[in-house]
């Protein structure tokens, strides 16, 4: 019988989409999620319901275990009861601005929790760990497009610092224990079933309801918005192509994206950055309503621009994220209107 894949954060935005893809391909999934109240847990429960229904339709096993990844005993028990072919760690305390107000939550989940996942993988001979990092690790770097080989030593938020720490922690386990680890630097992922605290969700809701939206950096923020289906396809391909040592690695000129150990870091971005103003225009065009904008300065913890060089990812899995903003925003708005029974 095929071993299941463990997906942490399976009730979350990206975790839900990844779990659905794996189930559709006929592989069983064990999900972990604590379904916390960082945002309305109703949408998390609905995602889980969809996964359970899909498992029945595809005759594939799906099981969700409610546990926080910082619970070391709970995580150990899960790994003791089941064997996994791969672990995909997408559980984390999300949000750059929330990390300014509640730093302890990030220490607990993103550092202690990730350490528990690494240790469970090591002690139970898991063959591969894929984990979420973030484009925020590039911090104050202005040399764009960002490439994995660049140093990422100047984070501008605690969230970014925890993601950089995850990469370092993973590398030490790859070096010491031979655990194949692949870190994914996500660039502003958006799409259906997205988090209600994310810009696209909040903007769409406000514009449809005729309410004003807060536009930071006067709309001049530039982001490499990445559609969720492109992220999922990247992760799915990486499952079958795990990290291997880079035998051309030069220790006197270290590349941050690879190692002599079975460790890799990849940018997952669309490589077509657009301004926040253009992003809002795509929403306006889709819903047919002009936004009421409140222009504000840039917020603490934010960076003016992100842009991904994805050439390493393309070379590794022969895939490049490419969904346009117009197409991606249209699909989100369609989902949003169906979910909330709106007519536009």
The reported pLDDT for the residue numbered 98 is: 72
pLDDT at 64: 98
Query: Along the chain (344 residues), what's the average pLDDT of each consecutive run of 10 residues?
Result: 92 98 97 91 97 96 97 97 97 77 86 97 96 95 94 91 96 98 97 95 96 93 96 98 96 94 98 95 96 92 90 98 96 96 80
Q: Where are the beta strands (DSSP E) in 127-186?
A: 128-134, 180-186
SS3 assignment, position 66: coil
- Domain ranges for the chain, please list them: 5-190+226-271+307-322
| Contact partners, residue 294, CB within 8 Å, separation at least 6 | 212, 213, 214, 215
Q: How far apart are CA 52 and CA 62, in angstroms?
A: 6
Give the other-Cβ count within 10 Å of 65's Cβ.
18
Query: What pLDDT score does 1 carry?
Result: 57
At residue 38, the pLDDT reads: 82
Catalytic, 159? Answer yes
Rg (CA), the chain: 19
What pLDDT, on a 0 to 100 scale, did the predictor assign at position 309? 97
Question: What SS3 string covers 213-275?
Answer: EEEEHHHCCEECCEEHHHHHHHHHHHHCCCCCCCCCCCCCCCCCCCCCCCEEEEEECCCCCEE
pLDDT recorded at residue 93: 79
**Cα 4 to Cα 22: distance, rounded to the nearest angstrom:** 10
Q: Are strands 226-227 and 212-216 parallel, antiparallel or unpaired?
A: unpaired
CA–CA distances in Å: residue 170 to residues 49, 95, 128: 32, 21, 11
Q: CATH assignment of 5-190+226-271+307-322, given 3.40.1830.10, 3.40.50.970, 3.40.50.720, 3.30.2130.10?
A: 3.40.50.720
What's the confidence (pLDDT) of residue 37? 85
CA distance 166 to 300: 22
Here the tokens at position 147 are 């490439």
Active site residue: 98, 106, 159, 336, which one?
159
State residue 123's pLDDT score: 97
Among candidate residues 269, 234, 253, 268, the one with its CA nearest the CA of residue 149: 253
Per-residue model confidence (pLDDT) at position 105: 85
């Amino acid at each position: 019988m095929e071993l299941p894949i463990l997906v942490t954060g399976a009730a979350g935005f990206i975790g839900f989409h990844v779990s659905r893809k794996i189930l559709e391909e006929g592989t069983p999934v064990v999900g972990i999620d604590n379904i916390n109240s960082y945002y309305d847990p109703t949408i998390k429960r609905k995602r889980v319901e969809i996964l359970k229904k899909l498992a029945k339709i595809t005759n594939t096993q799906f099981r969700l275990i409610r546990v926080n990844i910082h619970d070391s005993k709970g995580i150990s028990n899960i790994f003791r009861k089941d064997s996994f072919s791969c672990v995909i760690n997408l559980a984390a305390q999300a949000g750059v601005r929330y990390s300014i107000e509640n730093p302890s939550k990030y220490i607990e989940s993103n550092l202690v929790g990730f350490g528990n996942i690494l240790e469970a993988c090591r002690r139970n001979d898991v063959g591969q760990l894929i984990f979420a990092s973030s484009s925020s690790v590039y911090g104050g770097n202005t040399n764009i497009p960002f490439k994995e080989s660049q140093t990422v030593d100047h984070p501008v938020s605690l969230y970014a610092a925890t993601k950089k720490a995850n990469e370092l922690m993973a590398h030490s386990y790859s070096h010491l224990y031979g655990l194949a680890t692949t870190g994914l630097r996500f660039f502003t992922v958006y799409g259906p079933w997205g988090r209600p605290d994310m810009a696209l969700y909040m903007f769409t809701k406000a514009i449809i309801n005729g309410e004003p939206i807060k536009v930071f950096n006067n709309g001049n923020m530039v982001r490499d918005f990445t559609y969720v289906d492109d992220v999922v396809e990247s992760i799915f391909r990486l499952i079958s192509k795990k990290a291997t040592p880079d035998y051309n690695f030069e220790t006197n000129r270290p590349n941050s994206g690879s190692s002599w150990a079975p460790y890799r870091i990849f940018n997952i971005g669309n490589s077509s950055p657009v301004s926040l103003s253009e992003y809002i225009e795509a929403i306006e065009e889709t819903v047919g309503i002009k936004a009421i904008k409140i222009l504000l300065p840039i917020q603490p913890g934010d960076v003016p621009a992100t842009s991904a060089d994805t050439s390493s990812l393309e070379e590794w899995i022969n895939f490049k994220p490419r969904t346009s903003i117009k197409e991606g925003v249209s699909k989100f708005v369609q989902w949003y209107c169906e979910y909330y029974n709106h007519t536009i």
